Chains A and B, each alone.
Chain A
Amino acid sequence: MEAAMDLMRRMPPASAETALNALLSLLPDHSLDLLSQVDLPLQVCMDKETLKEYILCEYNRDADSYRSPWSNKYDPPLEDGTVPSEEMRNLEIEANEVFSVYRDQYYEGGISSVYIWEDEDNGGFIACFLIKKDGKGTRGYMQIGSWDAIHVIQVGPEEEGAAHYCLNSTVMLSLTTDNKQSGTFNLSGSIRRQMSMTLAVADGHLVNMGKMIEEMEGKLRNSLDQVYFGKTREMVCTLRPPPEVLNMRLPDS
């Protein structure tokens, strides 16, 4: 698995799906591991009952069908598809509504979904928050951008009024310009972080999870700015320093 994950870290992000398929065929016994550890750009589906869109991921999939967080139904319909318990479902409904507002505030558009289910092994529960946003540049270049965020929080059982939250987040970003003048420019990829906290449950799990995600997204956004725009740009300038830098060096050589 370690070799597989190292490969995913090196393959071009645009070919992530092909790479994952190749790995799945080489390691059929690890398919569940691979599918849950490797992130691909998020796909979206339309819930025909509520006419709302929802995001697809391993956490709402059963066999070949996906469960909508709005209607709680599988598409295509599945007789014995796994659904969360009533308590989880209620939390899930609330989470979807509140997260939707959060999404609107920060992303001014986009699609979000939350999936929650009981953690039978550890007590507590697991929640997966997803956001997908596509953007177009406004300046007449042909620009395409997309932001996909996946936050998975493992919440431990409540003990003495507090619970332990473990958040694993991935943000996948893709930015492309393509025109005759400046050629093709594509900057894409993903970064991942983890954060764990033990918090009092007085205000409810949703508040705790929400704040963690908000903080994490802020950090990731800044990191992306530094990483995406910083490191790669720095590399380009190292390969071929801009004239100002060269001129500074000339007196020495």
Chain B
Amino acid sequence: MGTWAIFNRPEPAPHHPPPACSHVPSVRVAIDPLPTPSLLSHPSRALHIAFPPSPPTAPAAPAPEMSDEGGAGEPLSDSQKREIAVWFLSNAPAGEIHYVAKDVRALLGDDAVYEAAAAEAFPEYNKAHLVSLELPDRSGDIIITTYGELDRNNYLDPRTAQVATVDHIKQTCTKLRPAADEELPSAYIEEFRSALDVELSKYVAEAYPKGVCAVYCTSGKDIEGPGADFGFAVVISAAKCSPQNFCNGSWRSIWTMDFNYELQFVDIKGKIQVDAHYFEEGNVQLDTNIDCKDSTIMQSPDDCAVSITNIIRHHESEYLSSLEESYLNLSDATFKDLRRKLPVTRTLFPWHNTLAFSLTRDLAKELALGK
């Protein structure tokens, strides 16, 4: 799919075959620190694979390091293959996990290993990307997130007070049931939660053409009345997938707020992540994130809702402007720093007549030798 030119690049001149896994030279001297640090510690041995750092929704995933169990050149064990598969799946850009899954399955050539990897990777991917699934009764969407997770396959939708059973790999809801009382917050908490949900939904509908949001109670859900602290998490997720245009992107924001009764204060923290992937003639990815902090005073549920939503709206618009600015700066400064459009002479390079540009070296002499 797509116009990825698989170059039939000429093979290098016949030479000694590479020792297994050793395309990295042992005498490499990195002159400038590269933005992509090498993860190989030794050219012909250990194959380190670490999971990408997880966004706040997922519980801190351990970073498994997989050292070569046999010597280099021995076939991989099933568990090593599974780890590699999980890594690929976890790193799929927004909206692309199924394409990645297809490739991984083909490469593994072993359905059992693939299925084990998929079972491990898909739930984490769905949570990290705040994947939203349509509820079977069409009452709305449910967001897959740690905040709503009751167990591995069951997620709460606070707005409709339902619990959906989810097939992570197919990314569909298989069952739906009303939430039990223990699963829902108390009436007191629910007043705050739903007021915020209403305001937030208005904001999201206005600001994001394809956004979904949800408000979860993260702590203190059984509090019956004022006097104790409680915590909420707000999740906003917008994704746009245009595989026919070779472009996908996602906006994810997670806001957590702590309502402090004693100080009559609401402490707000946010993390916004915006990604985009363009892959028509290559592979270009935008990966950005920012942490925000703010606060407001504790008020009635409706006033809190308005105040918090305004804060979120403010920070998110600010971030959008800041992204625009980053684009401008990179375009103006750094890109131009890298390569000029034309040499200072404003003409193309005179390949015929490089004598005009001889530096301190004796170019003329060298050229006389050549063709």
Contacts and interface: CB of A to CB of B under 8 A. Distances in A.
Give the interface size class of chain B.
35 or more
A168 B133 CA distance: 42
Interface stretch (B152-160, B187-195, B257-265, B363-371): B363-371
B72 to A, nearest CB: 9
Interface string A131-166: 001111111010111110000101000000000000
Q: Which interface residue of A25, A144, A241 has the most chain B CB atoms within 10 A?
A: A25
Nearest to B322: A182
Interface stretch (B34-42, B163-171, B212-220): B34-42
Interface residues of A, number: 139
Contacts of A24: 20-21, 23
Contacts of B327: 229, 233
A90 B318 CA distance: 58
Interface stretch (B121-129, B136-144, B178-186, B336-344): B336-344
Contacts of B99: 6, 10
A64 B43 contact: yes
A35 B43 CA distance: 14
B300 to A, nearest CB: 28
A43 B29 CA distance: 8
B349 A239 contact: no
Given A228-B284, A235-B276, A53 B31 contact: yes
Given A21-B21, A104-B359, A227-B280, A235 B240 contact: yes
Interface stretch (B55-63, B223-231, B243-251, B304-312): B243-251
Contacts of A5: 4, 6
Interface string A95-108: 00110011011111
Interface in B91-120: 91-93, 96, 99-100, 102-104, 106-108
A21 B80 CA distance: 13
Contact of B5 (A3, A98, A136, A194): A194
A20 to B, nearest CB: 8
* Residue among B5, B81, B210 facing the most chain A CB atoms (10 A cut-off): B5
A135 B249 contact: no
A207 B39 CA distance: 40
Nearest to B83: A22
Nearest to B336: A135
Contact of B35 (A37, A104, A118, A176): A176
Contacts of B286: 185-187, 232, 235-236
Interface in B266-311: 272, 274, 276-291
Nearest to A63: B16
Given A7-B88, A63-B15, A177 B326 contact: yes
B370 A11 contact: no
B7 A168 contact: yes
Interface string B78-89: 001100100110
A200 interface: no
B339 A147 contact: yes
B31 to A, nearest CB: 5
Given A126-B10, A175-B330, A242-B320, A25 B21 contact: yes
B334 A137 contact: yes
A216 B346 CA distance: 17
A90 B369 contact: yes
Contacts of B43: 64
B283 A14 contact: no
Interface string B329-359: 1110111011111111100110110100111
Given A63-B15, A107-B340, A239-B208, A12 B287 contact: yes
A176 B326 CA distance: 9
A206 B333 contact: no
Contact of B366 (A1, A65, A97, A241): A97
B251 A240 contact: yes
Given A12-B285, A183-B289, A146 B330 contact: no
A170 to B, nearest CB: 8
A112 to B, nearest CB: 12
A174 interface: yes
Given A176-B35, A210-B349, A233-B327, A187 B284 contact: yes
B174 interface: no
A98 B354 contact: yes
B284 A239 contact: no
A17 B209 contact: no
A46 B29 contact: yes
Given A35-B18, A143-B330, A236-B249, A94 B366 contact: yes
B25 A56 contact: yes
A231 B349 contact: no
A10 to B, nearest CB: 6
Given A61-B23, A229-B335, 17 more contacts: A7-B88, A12-B93, A13-B284, A14-B36, A19-B91, A26-B84, A36-B12, A43-B25, A46-B31, A93-B366, A93-B369, A97-B361, A138-B337, A210-B351, A232-B285, A236-B286, A238-B240
Interface of B: 1-2, 4-7, 9-32, 34-36, 38-40, 43, 47-50, 52, 73, 76, 80-81, 84, 87-88, 91-93, 96, 99-100, 102-104, 106-108, 206-211, 238-240, 247-251, 272, 274, 276-291, 316-317, 319-327, 329-331, 333-335, 337-345, 348-349, 351-352, 354, 357-359, 361, 363, 366-367, 369-371
The 6 closest A-B pairs by CB, nearest first: A183-B290, A94-B370, A191-B282, A189-B284, A135-B337, A105-B343
